[in-house]
Structure 1
């Protein structure tokens, strides 16, 4: 994109060139017309129970037996299980670990899935499968597929935002048009209070001149496209430039929390220090509050990332620190969404790439491994059952044995909640149709819905 006068055009010369763009050409190839083709909101083909998704991604493998999958210790020789106490919460009597007291207050909002399973216990492969349905090849992520299927509710914002992200694969559109790519905010542990959407701020020209500048550049881009019909990448760039211009007016305000009340900031623990493991303030509460703000503004898919769950040694200490980090902010998010009338049509999804085997309380060991054969996710809002536990693992919590849900089935269920036919949402690439749920397809877990 052309930039300021210092980049080759004088300011007056740029104005003159922009003015030469014909009115007829501008109308025929208007930014609105370009945007309508790729980003406009699409009506779901099925009855939807949710309009948007907030994915609370716990990378590293949360220990399900120490959080939501209670296994009582029985017999003279106690088998592996949780070394933390559980209590029953809410009218539903859901067992939740002592490590998550704030989340436990919302037990009657949760739909816990204890029968999750995946194909591998290797972090990178399972994490990729969780996001894209594939373990090895680069494929579009869940958020990109949803953006492709439904468009964005707010034409001035991306349809897919990933907060505190570390891997581009989790927000990539891959072979889908790049306009459906996720927008990362805060990369590789960047301080979220300073994180922003890159390359959006622009003060080199007055607002009216920036609009004329973009119209002029886009007119040249569209002439270029006319000579290359069917060039999806070029068309996506044109759409992205228009979206970038529109974002200048909306995105900075959404990232600014100064208008939030102190009570709200305190509820989300924004800037608060942890009592366990570190004296450094956590950014997770800020992420959750930003997720609420983006959801309220019409962003279709928001991913909130929290790493550090790959705790092999010092399991008790590190798990307690992680749970303290996420507990109050997630509880605040649930309560905030409900108070604002957003929980009904916002689907929250919590989980990681797999789980962990339990500890044996009597042997004093404090290290765990990986377990992809049985672990826990939970969902809330968006038409899901409330105060409900679906599926179970065996008595040791090692393997899903009832109500089994694979990542393909989770993807199918999320798409179905949004009114998208899970196994019919396809894109033609390299000679065949591709879909998020893979060649075998996924099963919608209808037992999760109200």
Structure 2
């Protein structure tokens, strides 16, 4: 038995040696090929050099209905009130079953611009900007519940621990300004969302790539003003002293403390420059009117969209402007009454969004700013509770504008 065992071990050892040798030779060959490919690729200019320096994500939380916004379905209107045709196949919703009756869209669609793209009556202001917009009617998600769908939208995964798209953008492009955060989230004042702050987080990337969460209201960041009687030079000395103490305690792998050290320095620089960014009083009346600042129901979202433009001008890489928060009725989550919900939510956001696109274009910023619009999923073609719609993740709409 021992002789057989020794023989097997010897054969296994020879096979393992040969396998490892060939793997080594293979890796050398592959590395050589890759090196040659890199040399060849380096001599060719990129045919599609990116122009976008910043991203503004207009996040419509809760799941806006593609059927009432940017994706007309004439056949759905013809089949209104009928059972779901078998040719549609089965669908998995969160609440309704496949025997639910189809619900035609209450919204009227009309072609706009030279492109002739059809836009719902809910977005008359955005319709005027349609030639600057690319509508994507083929979006798809893997989950049908808010928390996981929101996390998947921002990270591409349904499992926590992965970086958000904002963190990846900052990681890839770096900082453009040393006096403003690179990644900002402006939540809706009505409350938090199902996935919470982790959907915006840096995941396994360094902590310096996490977002700065702005507060709702007219003071998104507190304590930006220097205390009365404090000279900037003295505050600089205080910050430098704190930095020295932190550096003395910093371990090579202490990512959190390293990020905190950088945040102290950023906070000081923001005290010097950020108050001007957050001061909307310096904007002209024409600009405020363009966004809908100072009037309801657009004031809050208009103020945040205008601030997003100012953040882009200040070098912020990625900005999220959330519409919808708190209970489902305060989001685009129209389970009970799709018309009431979407007329209200669109009424709050349509003019500010169009104002943002128009303002960016007039200032020459649209070519270098990618604007995204959309939610975590769409709404079902079937009715829920008579005039509502359930979640629909296997086909919904988002759009993009700008970015060169």
Q: TM-score range by the shorter chain?
A: 0.7 to 0.9
**2:400 aligned residue (368, 379, 390):** 379
CA contact (8 A) 1:58 1:350 kept: yes
Deviations 1:83-115 (A, max 9, x none): 211000000100111111110011101100000
Higher Rg of the two aligned structures = 2
Structure-2 change in CA distance of 1:75 and 1:346 (3 Å): closer
Q: Secondary structure at the match of 1:378?
A: strand
Q: Which has the higher helix share?
A: 2
8 Å CA contact 2:206–2:255 kept in 1: the answer is yes
**Equivalent residue for 1:154?**
177
How big is the shift at 1:359? Answer: 5.7
Q: Alignment partner for residue 169 of structure 1, among 186, 194, 198?
A: 198
For 1:114 and 1:256, how far apart are their aligned partners in 2?
38
The count of residues paired between Structure 1 and Structure 2 equals 324
Counterparts of 2:349 and 2:302, CA distance in 1: 7
For 2:79 and 2:153, locate their aligned partners in 1 and report how far apart those are by CA, in whole Å: 36
Counting only pairs closer than 5 Å after superposition, residues 70-219 of structure 1 correspond to structure 2 as 70-73=72-75, 77-78=79-80, 80-164=103-187, 166=192, 167-186=196-215, 190=216, 192-193=217-218, 195-203=219-227, 205-219=230-244
Instruction: Map 1:50-449; keep pairs closer than 5 Å.
Output: 50-73=52-75, 77-78=79-80, 80-164=103-187, 166=192, 167-186=196-215, 190=216, 192-193=217-218, 195-203=219-227, 205-225=230-250, 228-274=251-297, 282-307=299-324, 308-358=331-381, 365-383=386-404
* Counterpart-to-counterpart distance in 2, 1:377 and 1:332: 19
Quote the residue 1:432 is aligned against. none
Alpha carbons 1:82, 1:359 under 8 Å: kept: no
- Gaps in structure 1 of 5+ consecutive residues: 1-43, 275-280, 384-450
Shift of 1:80: 3.9
**2-structure distance, mates of 1:106, 1:116:** 22
CA shift in 2, pair 1:180/1:75, >3 Å? closer
Runs of 4+ aligned structure 1 residues displaced above 3 Å come to 73-81, 198-202
Offset from partner CA, 1:97-135 (integer Å, 9 cap, x none): 111111001110110000000001100100011112221
Any conservation in 2 of the 1:178–1:236 contact (CA below 8 Å)?
A: yes
| CA shift for structure 1 position 209 | 0.8
Q: TM-score, normalised by structure 2?
A: 0.76
Q: Are 2:160 and 2:198, in contact at CA under 8 Å, matched by a contact in 1?
A: no
- In the alignment, structure 2 segments of 5+ residues that lack a partner are 1-45, 81-101, 325-330
The TM-score, its normalising length taken from structure 1, stands at 0.68
Q: Deviations over 1:353-410 (max 9, x none)?
A: 00002367xx993111010000000000003xxxxxxxxxxxxxxxxxxxxxxxxxxx
Distance (whole Å) between structure 2 residues aligned to residue 270 and residue 138 of structure 1: 37
- Distance of 2:272 and 2:334 partners within structure 1: 42
Q: Distance in 2 between matches of 1:332 and 1:57?
A: 16
Q: Is 1:66–1:358's contact at 8 Å kept on the other side of the alignment?
A: no
Distance across 1 between alignment mates of 2:339 and 2:254: 54
Deviation digits for residues 153-209 of structure 1 (CA, Å, limit 9, x no counterpart): 1110000011125332233223322221111112xxx3x22x322454441632111
